[in-house]
Amino acid sequence: MVAIPSKHKSLALLGGVLLAQILLLAVQIKRDSRGRLIRVWAVTATSPFERTGAWGIGKVRGVWTHYFALQTTSRENEALRIENDALKLTIAQLQAKAAEADRLAALLNFRQSHRDVPMVGARVIAASAGTASRTIEIDRGERDGIRRNMAVITPDGAVGKVIEVFRDMAQVLLLTDKEGGAGAMLVGSRIQGPVGGTGEPTLIMKYVPTDEDVKVGEKLVTSGMDKIFPRDIPVGTVVEVKAGNPFKQIRVQPAAKIDRLEEVIVLLSQTPVEFETEAQSTQTGAQNPAAKVPAAAAKP
Amino acid sequence: MNDTFELRSGETHIEVHKFFPGAIVAVTVAALVFQASAPVYLPKLEILDLPLLVTIYFGLSRRNPSTGLLLGTVIGLLQDALSGPTVPLGFYGIAKTIIGYLASSIGARLDTEHPAARFALTFGFFVLHQAILVLVRRLLLAQPEAWFNVHLAIAAGVNALLGMVLFLLFDRLRRRQ
């Protein structure tokens, strides 16, 4: 053991005794607003270490949490990803339901505004299996009063006709099928001609003489001459006119969204159906069915 | 046990004195009692600091820093205890601890038997003692107090003179071989 020189011993004793008395003083002295001096000293002496310790612990914890303890994070991430996928699916389902609700509301609105026209609403349950034909199957059949050659429409316009009827379902030949078609006429010029499909999304208006004036953007409605569709059901819009010999080549964009059908209306008779024109729709809006004016009434 | 020892420091030799049993305790108690009671009857005696003089004398005589500072501590704490609740314990204790240590340290190196040396040392220790008190007041008690004034100088002189006389009386308490 190393011996401490007596001079150093006395110095150490002096320091100890003084320190003890200073602490004794500090315990007794009470500063006005900061409590006893010993407490002030203790807090002042320890607070830097506490702050440093808290900072260091925070850093270490942060490093540990963000760089090392990632096992839980990975699991949480996986769980969140699964939950996110489920939520996405739910959102998609809800969006589909909302869209369906909109469509059904439009159908209901259409039916309510045409109470005098016998019609049946149907849901599209299947489509043609191949590209060779353009048909759909609906969930209404003979039991619902559906017969062959009945017109199938949507609130937007003509869709096709019933070609086969079963007890609880029916097949519909779309206008866009090569065999499909309807008697149509141009709204402005009253030029008539059959409209048929080509197997593509657009329709062709046939047998319009070359000398007739047909403009792009003109509307077509059913003429009623085919004994299937009532008059004045929107068929589509002219999107392309080419000169031909002896007939023009007129391409028509269908009014109904034929490639995205989910609900349709089957007309049980040839009673004329009133459709609101585009201009009227813009002016009055869809909220006021009473304001609808028959397209036929707008004719000159 | 010998009554006196000799400390050799170079060519000089300094005696370490021993006192009659109980002498230090008796003198200390007497000084404290006097310090506490005399000013009650004669306020002018407040200028005296007999506990300080006792601390200085026994420090210079014993010439042992450890016992010197411990004696100063005890005397100072007792003086604190007798000074009422407004003086915290340790106030005089710190000052007299340092004075006891310095006195015994100086006593071990210098011949402090001469009255003139005793006067000078007592004067100096008194001033230092007051300086330590002011320092403690300022730093620890947060009580502003002047470092130096005429009263301090007068008190230092009076206590130095009294110390010169008292130390001669205290010398009679030493054991002689």
Per-residue pLDDT tens over the stretch A102-144? 888 888 888 777 777 888 989 998 887 666 678 898 999 999 9
pLDDT in tens, A161-211: 999 899 999 999 999 988 889 999 999 888 999 999 988 889 999 999 888
| Chain A nearest C-alpha distance from B125 (Å) | 17
Q: What is the mean pLDDT of residues B54-74?
A: 90
What is the pTM (predicted TM-score) of this model?
A: 0.45
Rounded to 10 degrees, what is the CA torsion of A255, A257, A261, A266? Answer: 0
Burial of A223 (0-12, 13-18, 19+ CB in 10 A): buried
Q: Is A17 touching B (CB cutoff 8 A)?
A: yes
The rounded distance, in Å, linking the Cα atoms of B39 and B34 is: 8
The count of CB pairs under 8 A between chains A and B is: 58
Nearest to A10 among B73, B88, B101 (CB): B101
Q: Is A127 touching B (CB cutoff 8 A)?
A: no
The rounded distance, in Å, linking the Cα atoms of A294 and B96 is: 118
Report yes or no on A257 lying in a domain: yes
The first and second tokens of residue A268, run together, are 């049980």
Q: What is the mean pLDDT of residues A17-22?
A: 89
User: Would the CB atoms of A10 and B91 count as touching at under 8 Å?
Assistant: no
Report yes or no on A233 lying in a domain: yes
Report yes or no on A170 lying in a domain: yes
Q: Is A12 touching B (CB cutoff 8 A)?
A: no
Domains in chain B (CATH in brackets) are: 4-171 (1.10.1760)
User: Would the CB atoms of B101 and A28 count as touching at under 8 Å?
Assistant: no
Residue B9: partners with Cβ closer than 8 Å, 6 or more residues away = B108, B109
Q: Which residue of A has its CA nearest to B67?
A: A10
Helix/strand/coil for A167 = coil
What per-residue confidence (pLDDT) applies to B36?
80
Report yes or no on A88 lying in a domain: no
Report yes or no on A72 lying in a domain: no
pLDDT in tens, A63-75: 887 777 777 777 8
We report the CATH number of the domain holding residue A165 as: 2.40.10.340
Give the pLDDT band (50/70/90) at residue B46. Answer: confident
Nearest to A17 among B69, B88, B136 (CB): B69
List helix spans (H) across chain B: 23-41, 50-62, 65-82, 91-107, 115-139, 150-171
Total domains present in chain A = 1
β A151-154/A157-165 pair status: antiparallel
| Residue A233, domain extent | 114-275
**Residues A194/A186, Cβ–Cβ less than 8 Å:** no
Share of chain A above pLDDT 90, in %: 31
Report yes or no on A271 lying in a domain: yes
Report yes or no on A181 lying in a domain: yes
Position A263, amino acid: E
The rounded distance, in Å, linking the Cα atoms of A246 and A82 is: 64
Q: Is B91 touching A (CB cutoff 8 A)?
A: yes
Q: Is A14 touching B (CB cutoff 8 A)?
A: yes
User: Would the CB atoms of B94 and A31 count as touching at under 8 Å?
Assistant: no
Report yes or no on A52 lying in a domain: no
Q: Which stretch of DSSP H or E encloses residue A264?
A: strand A263-267
The rounded distance, in Å, linking the Cα atoms of A150 and A161 is: 5
Q: Which one, of A64, A46, A44, A45, lies nearest residue A56 by Cα?
A: A64
Partners of residue A13 in chain B, C-beta under 8 Å: 65-66, 69-70
